[in-house]
Structures are given as C-alpha cells and as structure tokens.
Structure 1
Amino acid sequence: MYIDPHIHMVSRTTDDYAAMAAAGCVAVTEPAFWAGFDRSSPAGFADYFRQLTDVEPARAARFGIQHFCWLAVNPKEAQDTAFAREVMSLIPDLLDRPNVLGVGEIGLNRNTRAELSVFEEHVALALEHDKLILVHTPHLEDKSKGTRLILDALDAAGVDPARVLVDHVEEHTASMVLDRGYWAGMTLYPDSKLSPARAADLLECYGSERTWINSAADWGRSDPLAVPKCALELRARGHDAAFVRDVLFEAPTRFLRESGRFRLPG
C-alpha cells in the first residue's frame, strides 16, 4: 500500500490509474502544474482547476484511489506577474473544496525576481487561509541558489516549517531543507532528478521522519510506478517492511494530515 504525493494525473491515461491501483496505490495528491505550454488566459486555469477539483477525483475513484489536489500558478507561468495575479484571484473561492489540501506547487523556475514575487504572494495566500504549502525547486537553473532563495523567503514570511514540503531535493539540497525544519520531497524520474537508487541513498542518510518520495509523473518522460519501484530498491537493500511502509505511506500521511482534509477510508 502506498501514496504518490506528487503526480500530475490530468496528463496520465486511465490505464495508469489501473496500473497504480494494481501496484497498491491508495491515494494521490496532484499539484497544479504547467500544461506543457503557457496558457493564454485565466479562463484556461479556471477549467484546469475544475479538472483538479471535480474531474480527476471521480476518475481516480473508479480504481479505488483517492485524489487530492493543490492549487497555484506554477513558477513556469509566473514570469508575467499581472497574469499570475489574475489567476491567483480564482484560488480563494476554491480552497474550501473537499479535496484541496493547500497551495502548490509554487516556487522558482528560472530564479527571477518576478517568480520570487509571485512565490511570496502565494505564501501570503496560504498563510491567510491556513493552508499547507508544496514548493517546486528549479531544475534547469541553479537548484542550490533557488532553494536558498525559497527557504529565505519562507523564513521571512514566518511560516511553520512543519506545514511546508520543499520538493525535488537532490543530494546537494536535501540537508539545506531538512536543517531548517522543512519537509523534503524526493522526485523519481527516468532521466533526471533522482533514480530509485539515489533516493534510497538519501533515505539511508536522512531517514523518513520528514521526507517523502514521489513520481511527479506528467506529460513528459516519467514513470507513474516510480514509487513502488523505489520500494523494491529499499527491500533489495535489506530494509524491513516497517521502514518501507513508513517511506511509502506513513510519512506522507503525517504531513498531509496537517491539511485537515487528508483522510483515507478504514
């Protein structure tokens, strides 16, 4: 039994839901994301948010998977601050939807001033509504610099680190995040980010107290079964079932329950 706490199911097929259910997935959480192209109007986001809050929960339920989501303007579309603010104006009315856990994924993509400004406004929105925060750290630009900028902005805003997950950490950023008291997310990708072996190395260094693993599977080359494949890596290294269960299920549950919305039947 496992949770994939960061996956973009709007870009995945129904067969992926079936395969995930067969592998033991019981819940997913889906952060708002870039669609592979820049949307031309806030109306496109209105439809996308409806997809996250209405359509995907029903699609997932057909396979016994519970679907939760996060709402935000992804940093890849945050360079136009006026556009981003118009989209953000849609979010407060949706935060009370039963499957919405918080604000995310927000953060930095190119480490620009505009992105940082929109990030800070998202953080303020989350604080105003007492919501969890899920953070995206950059892939193509300097991840260390971007992570430091993000952590400094979070500290300056006075957020509770226990209510923030900083995702896409790697070997050179995991300790930065954990040392400040934040949760660290490890993303498993076939060609970039972390392999199951690298994620297992990090879990052996830092444990599962404030970490989770996720696939972040989307419309690009990615693997919706990356989380159970990492479990196989952990078992092959001799880790017992209790540790693997904590990594795959208990740890993400501990964080997500802070939302007040994350509940599984039984």
Structure 2
Amino acid sequence: MKYIDPHIHMVSRTTDDYQRMAQSGCVAITEPAFWAGFDRSSAQGFYDYFQQLTAYEPKRAAQFGIQHFTWLCINPKEADDPGFAREVVSLIPEFLDKGNVLGIGEIGLNKNTKNELIILEEQIALAAEHNQLVLVHTPHLEDKLKGTRLIMDALSASGIEPGRILIDHVEEHTVGEVLDRGFWAGMTLYPDTKVTPQRAADIIEMYGNERIWMNSAGDWGCSDPLAVPKARLEMQRRGHSAATIDKVTFANPQTFLSQSPQFAIRD
C-alpha cells in the first residue's frame, strides 16, 4: 500500500509524524505555503519560509524515504493588506526553479474580502505568466459556496486550463460545481471540521473518482497526518476495490501533479 498526501503542512508537524506516515505507506507529499500560526510581520519572514520549504523540509522528509514537494504564495489569511502581499508575491519568481516547487498555492479566499480577491487575481496572473499549476484554498468560516464561486470565476477569467487547477477543501455543497466546471477537487480530511474520512467516502460514492483526491492538511489546528490511510481503510471496509482506493489516494494525485515537470515519483 502506498499513497500521496498532496496537501499537508509539515512545518507544523514533528519528525515523528514523518516516521508514522512512512510506516503507513506515504511515498510523497506536497506542502502548500500557508499561515505560520501567527501573522508574519515582514516579507523577509516569507523569504525565510520559502527557503524552509525548498531547502530544509525536503531533507527532513527524505530521512524517511518521503519525497517532499511544495507550492509558493502568500496565503489568503495574510493577503488582506495588498501592499504587504505584493512585497511577498514579488519574492516568489526567485524560487520557482527550485527542484521541488510545483506551482502557486494555496491561494484563494479566507473571508471573501475585496483585498483578498485582488491579491488572488494577481497571484493567478503570476501562475499564468510562469505556466504554473495552481492549488486553491476555499473559505472555512465564511461562506464557502460564495467564496468558491468567486474563486472559480476569477480562475476562469485567467485563461488557465481548468485541468491545471486543484480546488481544495471541497465539501458536499461545493464539489459538484467544482467538477462540473472542469477543475480538480481536493477533500481535506479533518477529525472535526471540513470532511471526515467517512464523508469523503460518501462523496466519492456520490460523485465518482475522477479528478478528485484526499489530503490531510495536517496544520496548526486539530488534524491528523494519517487521515489519508484511515480513509483508505474506510473505503476498504465499505467494499471499494483496491483499484478505486489507489486511484483517489495515489493515481489521481500523481496524474495531476505530473503536469509539473518538477514532479516525479522515484521507484
């Protein structure tokens, strides 16, 4: 059994988590740029963070045979100050040729504000300019459906092929529209919020297994870095075939991520 966790924030996890993930079959992860647990006070803080994601964290993962890939951005939680956000965005091109960088993400909306939308559009433009994949964060506490629709409209206006965009944190009321518009959909598995492994299995049974994946996110709140293998067990308990389980936890992430020339799973 092997799987990819395509959205997990390992800078918030201990080294023991890498060990447990490897023992559970994880062969690769992708880590989108996100909030540090506090608001950073300068663009230099992001510069150091991008260094951590592209230089240090891959070495920590490699100790356990896990390949580490990343995405770069200023996340929507810190994007409501356009001046500050633009300072951070200006740093990103310097890192795009690092060997483990897959694209721009996780960009999106947090509270669905005008400033967040402006910075979202500018980062979408950056992705288009540099022919990068895009990974999207959809709101949690605010109106998720409204935010998801605003994000999809901005992405559609950019001209980026929908098949090169993953819209994450989908739930039952958003996944259908995301898939219908040609985007990829990510289900984030949390013990209390977002989607549980049981709900994720329900969604696959309702919407199928095309252009959809599961991830653990594993960030600063209550989360579980072993959520993906637990979802595999839930699907197995329900009688799903090994091929279907492997498709949503390994083959689908591999297919989407392999659109980046930086992504390849070692034998």
RMSD: 0.5
Alignment correspondent of 2:129 = 128
Q: How many angstroms apart in 2 are the aligned matches of 1:122 and 1:208?
A: 29
Alignment correspondent of 2:220 = 219
Any unmatched runs of 5+ in structure 2? none
Shift of 1:137: 0.2
Alignment correspondent of 1:205 = 206
Matched ranges for 1:84-95 at <5 A:
84-95=85-96
Q: What code does the residue aligned with 1:61 have? A: A
Shift of 1:27: 0.2
Matched ranges for 1:21-170 at <5 A:
21-170=22-171
| Over 3 Å off, 4+ runs | none
SS in 1 for 2:222: coil
Alignment of 1:235 onto 2:236: yes
Q: Under a length normalisation based on structure 2, what TM-score does the superposition of the two structures give?
A: 0.99
Q: How many residues align?
A: 266
Tell me the alpha carbon deviations over residues 33-71 of structure 1, each in whole angstroms, 9 at most, x when there is no partner: 011111000010011000000000000000000000000
Tell me the alpha carbon deviations over residues 164-204 of structure 1, each in whole angstroms, 9 at most, x when there is no partner: 00000000000110000000000000110000010001111
Identity across aligned pairs (percent)? 68
Alignment of 1:262 onto 2:263: yes
Q: How many angstroms apart in 1 are the aligned matches of 2:160 and 2:239?
A: 38
Tell me the alpha carbon deviations over residues 124-161 of structure 1, each in whole angstroms, 9 at most, x when there is no partner: 00000000000000000000000000011111111100
Shift of 1:207: 1.9
Shift of 1:213: 0.3
Shift of 1:101: 0.1
